[in-house]
A and B are shown apart, each in its own frame.
Chain A
């Protein structure tokens, strides 16, 4: 699946750009490359949607790097939501091996523009405000 970008097509800056990033694109990147891809998008006020999410270790580093980039009157951090939250067994073999399907759709955006309205195990509703 290729990366898909969606926006209102204008340069007037009042639209909301959504970057849908495929699992295929992410799997070839190193941890810091993934974090840079996400945070560069968020710094540009984009909403980043990852098809396959991040590993727990990558999530930990994403929080750490995010903290280092917060500044007064500038970047205030990220809002992030994922599902499924607990992971699901990946079939019979997966259950035998104790292996879980770690893929989890993940929505990340700038904290000052995105607000989660509702979330459960298979539904995320998000409000995105314009600039």
Chain B
């Protein structure tokens, strides 16, 4: 990394800390479909507000609209960090309604779901360019992270100079590999977790406070 880039990053960190007492930051939860974004969003919301954000499902594109939970106050080491969580639809470059038919869905429902999914992905991209202050990027640690969508999304987030925390989710599954995700994005810190089981959430909250506080 260049000297000027290091200097710019230092300035950004200082500026961020100076303004940390301002309004809650909007933190977007991004990632590919079925990475566990809504499970994580619900885990965070339940832990700190008692409410959930939205329904979870193994069917891709269950989340088809960005959903926001405001004023989530996370307390760490005697300090509190208040954020708005934005749970976004899984980003993809393609949607074929026929894939939903494999999940015992009627054709009309599958078509409607695919239409809503495309609108949701477009909305998520718009949020990323205009309306979030930081990103939690969730990856399924049992799948290959070297996909074009992941590469593009991380590139887009970096180009916006947004702070990003990468979470390697689903560590409760046998074929989970956190190392594979660390190797895919070595320029960012990767935190392992199981949002479903609540494993390693203490470290996740510490990092949220550190990155977005």
Q: What is the predominant secondary structure among interface residues of chain A facing chain B?
A: mixed
Contact check: which of A57, A72, A78, A96 meets B2 at CB < 8 Å?
A96
Interface assignment of B159: CB less than 8 Å from any CB of chain A: yes
Of the listed stretches B50-58, B118-126, B170-178, B192-200, chain A binds B118-126
Interface size on B, residues (CB 8 A): 35
Interface size on A, residues (CB 8 A): 32
- Given contacts A68-B118, A70-B118, A80-B152, could you give 14 more A-B pairs where the C-beta distance is less than 8 Å? A60-B128, A60-B152, A61-B125, A64-B122, A67-B121, A67-B125, A70-B114, A76-B95, A77-B93, A81-B148, A85-B146, A96-B3, A98-B3, A98-B8
Pairs A–B under 8 Å by Cβ, sample size 18? A56-B152, A60-B152, A64-B121, A64-B125, A67-B95, A70-B114, A70-B118, A72-B114, A72-B115, A76-B96, A77-B93, A79-B94, A82-B148, A85-B146, A96-B3, A96-B4, A98-B3, A111-B94
Contact check: which of A72, A77, A97 meets B94 at CB < 8 Å?
A77
For B94, what are the chain A residues with a Cβ–Cβ distance below 8 Å? 66, 70, 76-79, 111
In angstroms, how far is the closest chain A Cβ from the Cβ of B107?
9
CA distance A59 to B152 in the complex (A): 7
CA distance A99 to B97 in the complex (A): 42
CA distance A81 to B94 in the complex (A): 13
Residues of chain B whose beta carbon lies under 8 Å from any beta carbon of chain A: 1-6, 8, 91-97, 111, 114-115, 118-119, 121-122, 125-126, 128-129, 146, 148, 151-152, 155-156, 158-160, 187
